[in-house]
Chain A
Amino acid sequence: MNVRLARSSIAVAAALMGAACAGAPTTPASAPSATGSADLAELEALYYARADSARMNVHQADVAFMQGMIGHHAQALVMSELAPERAGSQALRTLAARTINAQNDEIESMRSWLAERVQEVPEVRHDHASMRASMPGMLSPGQLRELEAARGLEFDRLFLTYMIQHHSGAVTMVHELFATDGAALDDTVFKIASDIQVDQTTEIDRMQLMLDALPARP
């Protein structure tokens, strides 16, 4: 935070002084290109036409995956938002903050993928009742209540245990998607599903290390 404050004070100070001393950046009026502007307009039209036609070709398993994963991510947000008040360590608060940032962004990607294809976009609701407990790894209402009630190191232990369970479920969902005929041929779906698989597998490894490092209960 301090860094950003300091940077903006530099910007303000420089603006006040007329910013005369800085080496001016260049802004090319038009990029040098061997391609004429009429050709570029045609290529741009082609770019958007192809994007539109890719959106017409939708596989139902991809839609179900994106819709389900939004709900799955939503529960990780609910869990992570408990951390600032309850966590016993800074490391866990850092982990939870990054989870909130990452999963919010992925939810946004999945929502816009669905919206562009005129598919139903699930609302991200934070009430527990709306979460489909049938998906792999989802916490039961009882587990969520238990997590909500925990504090300090006990919260850390439960959070790590349940988030490993939750992430493992997401990885299972990716495996199921890839085992479906015709699924994940869409570049965006393949990318999001692969990234979820890789990121969450890495996070599970990291959380297991954190869990192993928790002290014995005093």
Chain B
Amino acid sequence: MTMNTGAERRAPVSLRHALSLTALAVILSGCASGSAGPVSLSELAARNVPTPDPRVGLEAGLFDAGQTLWNMQLLSTTPPPREFIGATNSDLAFKGDYAIQGNYNGVIVWDISDPTRPSVAMSHVCPASQSDVSVYGDLLFVSGEGLGGRVDCGTQGVEQSVSPDRLRGIRIFDISDIRNPRYIHNVQTCRGSHTHTLLDDPDDDENVYIYVSGSSVVRPSEELPGCSSGSLDENPNSALFRIEVIRVPLAAPERASIVSSPRIFAGLVAPPQHGLAPEELAAVERARAEGAFILELPDNPQVMSDREANELLRRIVAGRGGTGSPMAQDSAFLRDLLAQEVEARLAAADEPRPGPTQCHDITVYPAIGFAGGACGGYGMLIDITDPVNPVRVDEVADENFSYWHSATFNNDGSKVLFTDEWGGGSQPKCRATDPYEWGANAIFTIENRRMRFHSYFKMPAPQTSAENCVAHNGSLIPVPGRDIMVQAWYQGGISIFDWTDPANAVEIAFQDRGPVEAQPRGRSMGGSWSVYWYNGVMVSSEIARGLDIFELTPSPMLTQNEIDAAKTARLDYLNAQGQPMFEWPASFAMARAYLDQLERSGGLSSSRIASVRAGLASAEQGTGAARRTALNGLAADVGGAVSGSADASKVRMLEAALRDLAGAE
């Protein structure tokens, strides 16, 4: 009796329905101009989003597909070098002016110093899927999982099911001369490496660590000694139910090796469902007031449907040899049964479960000491302060989630977003008939090392069955004061959304192309594998078409000042599963971005916004002490408006930004 009834689970959807009706009202009222006081971001987006959705009905084509963009523009699109045409482009890593792109045939290094005209700095043929890549200093790490990957990078594959020539694990290259990479070492693992995570421990200058996520079948011990599978009851040494940790000594990377295989899933007692969203809890309260039968599980009360309750009551009546409608005693009996059930469940919850056999992705965020693990049927919060011995501190499950795929934290670490790669990425899970909650993102807040569910977000434009589409990889866009993410949806294109309000993510920009091939010829894998913000542009690995680079364009949902402020946060390198904490230098753009945000939220009066803007313009013209005095004066002025503001925390951020600017050179 898992008693999640459809009614409560749909609560967030009903809320979205209400928002859509608001949008409808706005449209019917004749395109309100937006100047009549603050409106919510979702309302603002609803007023501005093009209708009908231009992503529907785009022409098919490999290099000539129809394309549409909203609030972003394409700076360049560049096909892969010839030897990589037809092989899948996979994930990206960045170092300096270079974007490093994995491909099932090897690695391509792009010089993106001119994002309108990227050039191939180096390409290296060394086949293996998925060829996910990471960089650290002069080292490049590449994942190998497919059965045809060879230790010697040969292209002939490996025919035998057991062979010393097969590479499944991590390849390590020295890229101190990035145009001439040197293959220096590999670390073989039992399940190969589908993806991996590079962890730069803030307390360890001598090593970096690699967490290997392998989701394939365990190879035979004849090929790699010590590998065996099976349940832990039968085989305590099983290569399942664990992750692998590789230590890479920076002074001698050729000595990299597995140093631990932590069983981070041990003792898993997660329920099959995360706690309820606030709207869902409210629905439970309403049901309780109406006298519904409720299984009172802590954090996760479950209302029985009438159908379930009636069936049980019918059995109870029959059980006492009665007939006809249930009586008060039968209802009391059922409530008693439910109470017993809660006790039994709580007792059963203490029984350890085997849990998942592996993780797909582990996103480490060293600045906050946590990782988000997307592991089988669970999303996990993992303490990584001891890199060799990561410890799971919380886990969530979700009946709408098929397969937990990846995690992204917001910049201050108070939220985490998990993706569900339902169908594995090669299936079309964004058709009009596919539910909004399936193959989507789930957004959680992190409170006292526990994750709390708020809502789902799925790229909203229906796609054809010729387009593989599901939630996939992306990154934060560092707009100060907001949580904004750019995300790849394979052939569903690229979607940019604001998730500052965890209960209501809002799409604010997008790009999409038509399918690589139209039906009925077939479905070819294509679309954006991953897209990341890197030093002012968004770089996307297009599975079939090569490398795309985009930039944001301003809109009422994201102003030029906010975009300019995002561009001030610079990185020396970036790995897909290693999240950096963005830091912004003091800038006029940042102060103006906060002002724009306060205008949007109504957190400052329009007259004060106008006067601070004028003051900023004048201060920017000044120099030295005059500028400092002017900025401190503005800060004091803004500080005086904190109390009484509906958006006081943002006003404080503006005040601090002004003071920092005054203190800057």
Contact = CB atoms under 8 A, between A and B. Distances in A.
A125 B131 CA distance: 39
Contact of B53 (A11, A26, A106): A11
**Residue among A9, A11, A31, A92 with the highest chain B CB neighbour number at 10 A:** A31
B161 A180 contact: yes
B20 A3 contact: yes
A54 B46 CA distance: 46
A43 interface: yes
A144 B410 CA distance: 48
A204 to B, nearest CB: 9
A24 B524 CA distance: 30
B5 A90 contact: yes
A199 B402 contact: yes
Contacts of A105: 423, 427-429
Contacts of A188: 426
Interface in B307-329: 308, 311-312, 315-316, 319
Contact of B432 (A4, A31, A89, A190): A4
Interface in A180-212: 180-185, 187-188, 190-192, 194-195, 197-199, 201-203, 205-206, 208-210, 212
A87 to B, nearest CB: 10
Interface centre among A21, A116, A152 (most CB of B within 10 A): A21
Contacts of A112: 522-523
Contact of B311 (A88, A98, A192): A88
A44 interface: yes
Contact of B51 (A15, A54, A102, A194): A15
B68 interface: yes
Contact of A206 (B147, B272, B348): B272
A20 B31 contact: yes
A134 interface: no
B602 interface: no
Contact of B460 (A7, A14, A95, A213): A7
B78 A35 contact: yes
Contacts of A25: 50, 54, 68-70
Given A184-B147, A206-B272, A3 B13 contact: yes
A91 B399 contact: yes
A40 B79 contact: yes
Given A102-B423, A190-B129, A3 B319 contact: no
A214 B473 CA distance: 36
B377 A205 contact: yes
A116 B523 CA distance: 11
Contacts of A3: 13, 16-17, 20, 436
A191 B86 contact: no
B327 to A, nearest CB: 17
A199 B424 contact: yes
A13 interface: yes
Given A10-B27, A32-B116, A23 B2 contact: no
B272 A21 contact: no
Nearest to A44: B62
Nearest to A93: B6
Nearest to B16: A3
Contacts of A6: 17, 20-21, 24
Interface in B28-57: 28, 30-31, 46-54
A118 interface: no
A105 B28 CA distance: 39
Contacts of B372: none
A190 B128 CA distance: 12
The CB with the most chain A CB atoms within 10 A, among B147, B357, B460, is that of: B147
A192 B272 contact: no
A22 B21 contact: no
A46 interface: yes
A153 B389 CA distance: 42
Interface stretch (A65-73, A75-83, A135-143, A171-179): A171-179
B587 interface: no
Contact of B147 (A98, A190, A202): A190
A32 B77 contact: yes
B117 interface: yes
A153 B305 CA distance: 13
B376 interface: yes
Nearest to B86: A50
Given A23-B555, A50-B86, A198 B215 contact: yes
Nearest to A197: B217
Nearest to B217: A178
A129 interface: no
A209 B272 contact: yes
A91 B4 contact: yes
B249 interface: no
B79 A51 contact: no
A212 B348 contact: yes
Given A183-B161, A206-B272, A218-B315, A198 B49 contact: no
- Pick the 9 closest A-B CB pairs, nearest first: A21-B31, A195-B424, A50-B86, A6-B20, A91-B2, A14-B51, A209-B272, A22-B50, A25-B70
6 contacts: A2-B13, A23-B49, A89-B3, A153-B1, A194-B215, A205-B354
Given A28-B67, A33-B77, 9 more contacts: A11-B51, A26-B68, A28-B74, A50-B85, A90-B9, A181-B160, A183-B161, A218-B315, A218-B337
